[in-house]
């Protein structure tokens, strides 16, 4: 979703901002813009890619030591030059960029129109900007004061950066519900919606909290709350380097991230899982182990791929810990009146740690006394900070819009948590625990083996790329994998794809089966295998095309399937971390074969910071 960059200091701001916007492109956007202060406020914006903006600015004087830049993912008003940010206030004095949604903008707009304001765009941002400027003019107060007064009146989510034509050094920034990171350089400051535009300049950052305003000058960073009380900036060190956010020789981030999985899963297990001695160390989980073990139920909340990881975790936790688990879409959970008892345990899963629905669902559950455990990839993110405890997935920055390595790392963390809790609870016998620890430790190597099938899967992608629809079927632990395979294919290749429990297929989706329909079976050797094979027979009987992900040594399935992808054996509890990998590759190669920009699929955003 929208990306935000700001700079104030001795460097030329434009190159820093432009590079920063390019680093944020992965978040998904449809227009971009920049405002520079240099003997006046200069605003440039353009529909399309950052490169389109850059092209229109060639030859222009882009000098200036302070500026703000934005990539917009349209919410209010279609993507066009007019609605792109930055916006300029009617007085011409202030420019602003905004990520988020102002829910009461219509009322504020009406009031401003009544006062004689006119609007050039359809955005809520221009309304908030003029609201701030109107307060500044009316109260004859500094901009910082006007921002504070305005933000106390708005309902919604925002991260804003504001610059003032009369103050050539200061950026005023504020956030609620949308992320903001400030990088601290020597006599300079960098602002962005995540650390990727900042990392090459400094590793010292401050994550701004909700309801905080930052007054940022080259030599000064002042943090205040909306009550005008000074806050102490908490400086943290970024634990990532530039290579983590570059393609490193791969054609796409998505492919790089799929191929990183042996390392990312290993990194996730490292320091936590000692399979030889049967030890698992997860301090965040341990802190609440008693409460989790004794919980009446666990509710997992997440969206998209993270929700699929939650579904796998449901099977794993129920099996190993015998605690009932419910898996909820965060967006549904937050709007009904969920029944939460004090002591219920909520596990929130999120790659970005900024997903608005998940964040609000957490707040809601917290208010009702639940314990929140966050399984999060982005260090220092809002969900990580809103949780009581939890575990980072340590998969490194995920830039490709389609989530891949974050999913397998989420599964690794959740499996470790279930193993340690099951053992402590006594629902998991030590022998099985030791076996599963070893099975988990072996996953990175087995993923490496699967990645060697890349060219075979690429050929399969060529064969099936023109399909109009696809079905993905699996049972048990592999049912969520089927859902994830379908999600990956549809978001990257725009082929309509559905995931189902293989047995459920008979209750409707089987009507879709024709000779043209590819049906992907996740059919690895597990306790459901024979049943899955029967479901495969049912598809073959109707002449559907079967592509099966199977386990080495399986001699039956190849006689039924049109195409097979053979992966190493693994215990069913850990198998999803393997069986999903060929499906990620399949989606990737189909997307590429169809000529699509797989890192930035249409309409999608990496970090969904609006509801
Ligand atoms: C799919 C995908 C999305 C995210 C979802 C949740 O490939 O990336 O479905 O999984 O938007 O995002 P996080 O995990 O950041 O909360």
**CA 395 – ligand 1 centroid, Å:** 14
Measured distance between the N- and C-terminal CA atoms of the chain, rounded to whole angstroms: 11
The band of 10, judged by pLDDT with boundaries at 50, 70 and 90, is very high
Strands 87-88 and 94-102: antiparallel
Give the three-class secondary structure for 373.
strand
Q: Is the pLDDT of residue 309 over 90?
A: yes
* Whole-number Å distance between alpha carbons of 287 and 279: 16
| Residue 54 alpha carbon to ligand 1 centre in Å | 29
Q: Which atom of ligand 1 approaches the CA of 383 most closely?
A: 16
Share of the chain above pLDDT 70, in %: 100
Alpha carbon of 102 to ligand 1 centroid (Å): 23
- Which ligand 1 atom is at minimum distance from the Cα of 358? 16
Contact predicate 313/302, CB 8 Å:
no
Q: Using CA positions, which residue lies closest to atom 11 of ligand 1?
A: 304
Percent of the chain past pLDDT 90, that is, above it, reads: 85
Among the atoms of ligand 1, which is closest to the Cα of residue 302?
16
Q: Which atom of ligand 1 is nearest the CA belonging to 308?
A: 10
The helix (H) or strand (E) run that includes residue 87 is strand 87-88
Confidence of residue 2 (pLDDT cuts 50, 70, 90): confident
State the pLDDT confidence band at 517, using cuts at 50, 70 and 90: very high
Check residue 535 and give its pLDDT: 93
Which residues have CB under 8 Å from 596's CB, separation 6+?
Answer: 492, 493, 494
Q: Whose CA is nearest to atom 3 of ligand 1?
A: 304
**8 Å CB contact between 382 and 365:** no
Residue 466 phi/psi, 5-degree rounding, is: -90, 5
Residue 4 CA to ligand 1 centre (angstroms): 20
**Average pLDDT of every residue of the chain:** 94
DSSP string of 13-71?
HHHHHHHHHHHTGGG--SEEEEEEESSSEEEEEEES-HHHHHHHHTTS----SEEEEEE
**pLDDT score for 248:** 82
Q: Tokens 């943090």 correspond to what residue?
A: 223
The pLDDT tens digits of the residues spanning 558-608 come to 999 999 999 999 999 999 999 999 999 999 999 999 999 998 888 887 777
Cα Rg, the chain, nearest whole Å: 25
Closest ligand 1 atom, residue 607 Cα: 15
| Closest listed residue to residue 183, CA positions, set 155, 200, 203 | 203
pLDDT tens digits, residue range 472-482? 999 999 999 99
Residue appearing with tokens 């060529």:
462
Beta bridge partners of 376: 350, 392
- Label residues 387-412 b or e (16+ Cβ within 10 Å = b): bbebbbbbbbbbbbbbbbbbbbbbbb
Matching residue, tokens 């935000």? 4
Q: Which of 49, 256, 545, 606 is catalytic?
A: 606
Cis amide prior to 146 (ω within 30 degrees): no
Q: Mean pLDDT across the stretch 29-52?
A: 94
Question: What domains does the chain contain, in order, with CATH numbers?
Answer: 3-243 (3.60.20.10), 247-441 (3.40.50.10490)
Rounded to the nearest angstrom, the distance between the alpha carbon of 490 and the centre of ligand 1 is: 14
121 forms bridges with which residues in the sheet?
A: none
Q: How far apart are CA 538 and CA 392, in angstroms?
A: 42
Q: Give, for ligand 1, the residue of 303, 393, 489 to mutate: max count of ligand atoms closer than 8 Å to Cβ.
A: 303
Residue 216 near residue 226 (C-beta atoms within 8 A) = no
- Local structure of 435: helix, strand or coil: helix
Q: Kindly give the number of the ligand 1 atom that is closest to the alpha carbon of 406.
A: 14
- Burial per residue of 127-154, b for 16 or more beta-carbon CB atoms within 10 angstroms, e otherwise: bbbbbbbbbbeeeeebbbbbbbbbbeeb
Which residues approach ligand 1 with their CB closer than 6 A? 303-306, 350-352, 355, 358, 402-403, 487, 491, 608
Q: CA neighbours within 13 Å on the CB side: how many for 481? A: 29
Q: What is the 3-state secondary structure (H, E, C) of 101-112?
A: EECCHHHHHHHH
* CA separation for the pair 209, 213 (Å, rounded): 9
Residue 404 alpha carbon, nearest atom of ligand 1: 7
Partner residues linked to 41 by β-bridges: 37
Instruction: Out of 28, 312, 332, 351, give the residue to mutate to test ligand 1, the one with the largest number of ligand atoms within 8 Å of its CB.
Output: 351
Q: Check residue 289 and give left, alpha or beta (phi > 0: left; psi -120 to 50: alpha).
A: alpha
CB 524 within 8 A of CB 575: yes
Query: Is 321 among the residues known to form the active site?
Result: no
pLDDT at 162: 98
pLDDT > 90? residue 451: yes
Kindly give, in sequence order, each residue whose CB lies less than 8 Å from that of residue 383, ignoring residues fewer than 6 positions away.
348, 350, 353, 354, 355, 358, 359, 362, 374, 376
Can you tell me which residue has the tokens 């099936």?
A: 464
Rounded (5°) CA angle 372-300-194: 65
- Report the separation in Å between the CA atom of 268 and the middle of ligand 1, taken as the mean of its atom positions: 19
Distance 351 CA to ligand 1 centre (A): 7
Question: Residue 348 pLDDT more than 90?
Answer: yes
The per-residue pLDDT for 442 is 98
- DSSP character at residue 113: H
CA dist list (Å): 270 to 265, 279, 381, 527: 8, 12, 22, 29
**Helix extents (H) in 478-575:** 478-493, 529-541, 557-560
Question: Per DSSP, what are the bridge partners of residue 175?
Answer: 159, 212
Which of 71-80, 94-103, 354-363, 600-609 comes out lowest in average pLDDT? 600-609
Does 529 score more than 80 pLDDT? yes
Ligand 1 centre distance from Cα of residue 243 (Å): 23
- Known catalytic residue at 141: no
Whole-number Å distance between alpha carbons of 207 and 224: 13
Q: Residue 86, preceding bond cis, omega within 30 degrees? A: yes
State the CB neighbour count (10 A cutoff) for residue 241: 12
Q: What is the pLDDT of residues 170-204, one digit of tens each?
A: 999 999 988 899 999 999 999 999 999 999 999 99
What is the rounded CA–CA span in Å between residue 311 and residue 319? 13
Q: Are strands 496-501 and 518-522 parallel, antiparallel or unpaired?
A: unpaired
Mean pLDDT confidence for 7-29 = 93
Number of residues assigned to the chain:
611
Residue nearest to atom 16 of ligand 1 (CA): 350
> Which among 2, 159, 268, 303 is annotated as catalytic?
2
- pLDDT confidence of 93, banded at 50, 70, 90? very high
Rounded to whole angstroms, the Cα distance separating 403 from 407 reads 7
CA of 393 to the centre of ligand 1 (A): 14
Taking CA atoms only, the protein residue closest to ligand 1 atom 5 is 304
pLDDT of 37: 96
Query: Can you list the pairs that 313-316 forms with residues at least 24 positions away whose Cβ atoms lie under 8 Å?
Result: 313/347, 313/349, 313/411, 313/414, 313/415, 313/418, 315/476, 315/477, 315/480, 316/414, 316/415, 316/418, 316/477, 316/573
Q: Mutate which of 179, 312, 355, 580 to test ligand 1's pocket (most atoms within 8 Å of Cβ)? A: 355
Token pair recorded at residue 208: 């701004």
Q: In this predicted model, what pLDDT tens digit does every residue of 548-560 receive, in sequence order?
A: 999 999 998 999 9
pLDDT given at position 25? 86
Q: Which residues of 242-263 are buried (b: 16+ CB within 10 A; e: fewer)?
A: eebbeeeeeebbbbbbbbbbbb
Q: What pLDDT does 13 receive?
A: 98
| Residue of 26, 300, 306 to test ligand 1 pocket, by largest number of atoms within 8 Å of CB | 306
How far apart are the C-alpha atoms of 440 and 572, rounded to whole Å? 11
Residue closest by Cα to atom 7 of ligand 1: 402
pLDDT at position 133, please? Answer: 98
Angstrom distance (rounded) from CA 553 to CA 573: 19
The pLDDT of residue 88: 97
């Amino acid at each position: 979703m929208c990306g935000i960059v700001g700079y104030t200091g001795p460097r030329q701001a434009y190159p820093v901002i432009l590079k920063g916007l390019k680093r944020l492109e992965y978040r998904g956007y449809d227009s971009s813009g920049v405002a520079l202060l240099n003997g006046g406020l200069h605003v440039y914006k353009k529909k399309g890619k950052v490169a389109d903006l850059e092209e229109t600015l060639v030859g222009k004087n882009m000098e200036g030591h302070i500026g703000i830049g934005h990539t917009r993912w349209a919410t209010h008003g279609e993507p066009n030059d007019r609605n792109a940010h930055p916006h300029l206030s009617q007085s011409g004095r202030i420019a602003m960029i905004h990520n988020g949604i102002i829910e009461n903008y219509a009322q504020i707009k009406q009031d401003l129109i009544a006062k004689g304001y006119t609007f050039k765009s359809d955005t809520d941002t221009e309304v908030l900007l003029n609201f701030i400027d109107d307060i500044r003019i009316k109260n004859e107060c500094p901009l910082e004061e006007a921002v504070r007064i305005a933000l106390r009146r708005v309902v919604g989510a925002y991260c804003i950066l504001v610059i003032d034509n009369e103050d050539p050094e200061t950026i005023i920034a504020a956030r609620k519900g949308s992320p903001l990171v400030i990088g601290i350089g020597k006599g300079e400051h960098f602002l962005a919606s995540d650390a990727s535009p900042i990392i090459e300049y400094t590793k010292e950052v401050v994550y701004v909290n909700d309801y905080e305003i930052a007054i940022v000058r080259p030599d000064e960073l002042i943090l205040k709350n909306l009550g005008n009380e000074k806050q102490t900036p908490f400086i943290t060190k970024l634990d990532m380097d530039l290579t983590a956010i570059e393609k490193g020789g791969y054609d796409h981030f998505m492919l790089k991230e799929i191929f990183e999985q042996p390392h990312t899963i290993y990194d996730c297990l490292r320091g936590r899982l000692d399979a030889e001695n049967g030890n698992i160390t997860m301090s965040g989980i341990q802190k609440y182990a008693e409460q989790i073990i004794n919980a009446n139920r666990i509710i997992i909340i997440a969206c998209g791929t993270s929700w699929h990881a939650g579904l796998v975790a449901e099977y794993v936790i129920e099996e190993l810990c015998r605690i009932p688990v419910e898996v909820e879409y965060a967006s549904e959970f937050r709007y009904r009146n969920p029944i939460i008892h004090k002591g219920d345990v909520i596990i929130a899963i999120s790659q970005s740690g900024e997903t608005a629905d998940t964040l609000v669902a957490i707040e809601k559950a917290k208010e009702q006394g639940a314990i929140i455990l966050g399984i999060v990839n982005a260090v220092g993110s809002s969900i990580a900070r809103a949780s009581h405890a939890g575990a980072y997935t340590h998969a490194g920055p995920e830039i490709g819009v389609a989530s891949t390595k974050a999913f397998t790392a989420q599964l690794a963390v959740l499996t470790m948590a279930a193993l340690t809790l099951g053992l402590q609870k006594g629902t998991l016998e030590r022998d099985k625990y030791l076996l599963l620890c070893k099975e988990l430790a072996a996953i990175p190597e087995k993923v490496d083996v699967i990645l060697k099938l890349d060219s075979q899967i690429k050929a399969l992608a060529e064969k099936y790329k023109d399909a109009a629809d696809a079905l993905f079927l699996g049972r048990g632990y592999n049912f969520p994998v089927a859902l994830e395979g379908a999600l990956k294919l549809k978001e990257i290749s725009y082929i309509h794809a559905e995931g189902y429990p293989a047995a459920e297929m008979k209750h409707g989706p089987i009507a879709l089966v024709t000779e043209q329909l590819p049906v992907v079976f996740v059919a690895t050797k597990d306790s459901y295998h024979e049943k899955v094979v029967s479901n495969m027979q049912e598809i073959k009987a109707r002449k559907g095309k079967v592509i099966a992900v199977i386990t080495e040594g399986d001699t039956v399935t190849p006689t039924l399937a049109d195409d097979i992808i053979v992966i190493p054996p693994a215990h069913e509890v850990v198998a999803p971390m393997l069986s999903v990998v060929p499906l990620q590759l399949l989606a990737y190669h189909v997307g590429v074969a169809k000529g699509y920009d797989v890192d930035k699929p249409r309409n999608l955003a990496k970090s969904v910071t609006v509801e």
